[in-house]
């Protein structure tokens, strides 16, 4: 950790407000190697870092750790700021600080995601942005898959792999003040016959990629038929027919 970051560990005591011109002069000096000015500039923007950190509290990381990561983003903003920009430094710095914290949370997540899935997820986000602009609507999973040249299943798996994990204490159902948590459901699953589960898994392997995707969205992610239809770009009636066909195939295999 650099001395510039270490100097920011206390609350911002710099009460003098700097003008845009003064800030740019300090950035220029910092970019030319003046570490003292660099530290002073960082010190003047601590409140900016803390304001961004507030958005990420309660995610299992200490505020001080997030603050330190945010300061790294602030330092990068100082080093990369283009003095020809007709914007305030704070306007440029906030996305840099946000990005640094988000990257830290993603890479330091409780559930480790492979680099290939992270890269695929990044490509999917980019594809969705591009397709949304060209189509003036959110693209379906199939449209994204065709754009990237991959299967629909790969798109869903990459998206789901990068979602924040839920808490086992999260309430999934509540009736008359009596909540049922995810932990309760897991406890119930322990009493079920594991052989039946393995049998179902073997049957699912015999389904097509699209059929498995529908089963995954309907029975593992609890999506409605309408939600699945919207994601796949088909009608709800088509999903209903496909689901009935899938269930019929599963029943035949079980018998």
Instruction: For residues 3-30, give the mean pLDDT.
Output: 65
Count CB-CB contacts under 10 A for residue 67.
18
Return the structure tokens found at 56: 């990420």
| Contact yes or no for 29/55 (Cβ under 8 A) | no
CA distances from 98 to 47, 111, 176, 213 (A): 14, 21, 41, 34
Write out pLDDT tens, residues 89-101. Answer: 888 888 889 888 8
Instruction: For residues 20-34, give the mean pLDDT.
Output: 89
User: pTM to 2 decimals?
Assistant: 0.41
Return the structure tokens found at 8: 């920011």
**Non-local CB neighbours of 27 within 8 Å, separated by 6+ positions:** 41, 78, 81, 83, 89
Question: Hey, CA dihedral for 144, 148, 154, 160, is it positive or negative?
Answer: negative
Write out pLDDT tens, residues 196-246. Answer: 555 666 777 778 878 888 888 887 777 888 888 888 888 889 988 988 888
Task: Tell me what pLDDT residue 66 has.
Answer: 87
Place of tokens 């994204």: 144
CA distances from 167 to 170, 195, 216 (A): 5, 27, 20
Write out pLDDT tens, residues 49-79. Answer: 998 898 888 766 788 888 988 999 899 889 8
Return the structure tokens found at 123: 């490509």
What percentage of the chain exceeds 90 in pLDDT?
Answer: 6
What percentage of the chain exceeds 70 in pLDDT?
Answer: 71
Return the structure tokens found at 157: 């798996």
Task: Tell me what pLDDT residue 6 has.
Answer: 42
Write out pLDDT tens, residues 134-174. Answer: 988 888 888 999 999 988 878 877 776 666 555 545 565 55
- Burial code (b: 16+ CB inside 10 Å, e: under 16) for 17-47 equals ebeeeebbebbebbeeeeeebbbbbbebbbe
Task: Tell me what pLDDT residue 159 has.
Answer: 74
């Amino acid at each position: 950790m650099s001395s510039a970051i270490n100097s920011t560990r206390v609350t911002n005591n710099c009460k003098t407000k700097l003008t845009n011109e003064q800030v740019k002069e300090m950035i220029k000096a910092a970019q030319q190697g003046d570490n003292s000015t660099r530290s002073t500039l960082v010190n003047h923007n601590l409140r900016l870092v803390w304001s961004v950190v507030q958005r990420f509290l309660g995610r299992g990381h200490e505020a001080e750790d997030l603050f330190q990561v945010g300061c790294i983003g602030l330092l990068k903003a100082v080093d990369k700021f283009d003095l020809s920009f007709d914007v305030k430094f704070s306007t440029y710095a906030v996305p840099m600080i946000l990005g640094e914290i988000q990257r830290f949370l993603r890479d330091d997540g409780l559930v480790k995601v492979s680099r290939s899935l992270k890269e695929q997820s990044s490509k999917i986000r980019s594809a969705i942005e591009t397709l949304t602009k060209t189509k003036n609507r959110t693209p379906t999973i199939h449209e994204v898959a065709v754009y990237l040249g991959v299967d629909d299943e790969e798109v869903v798996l990459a998206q789901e792999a990068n979602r924040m994990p839920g808490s086992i204490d999260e309430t999934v159902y509540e009736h008359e003040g009596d909540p049922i948590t995810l932990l309760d459901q897991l406890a119930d699953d322990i009493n079920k016959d594991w052989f039946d589960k393995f049998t179902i898994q073997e049957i699912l392997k015999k389904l097509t990629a699209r059929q498995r995707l529908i089963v995954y969205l309907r029975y593992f992610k609890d999506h409605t038929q309408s939600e699945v239809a919207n994601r796949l770009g088909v009608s709800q009636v088509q999903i209903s027919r496909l689901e009935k066909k899938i269930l019929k195939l599963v029943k035949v295999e079980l018998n």
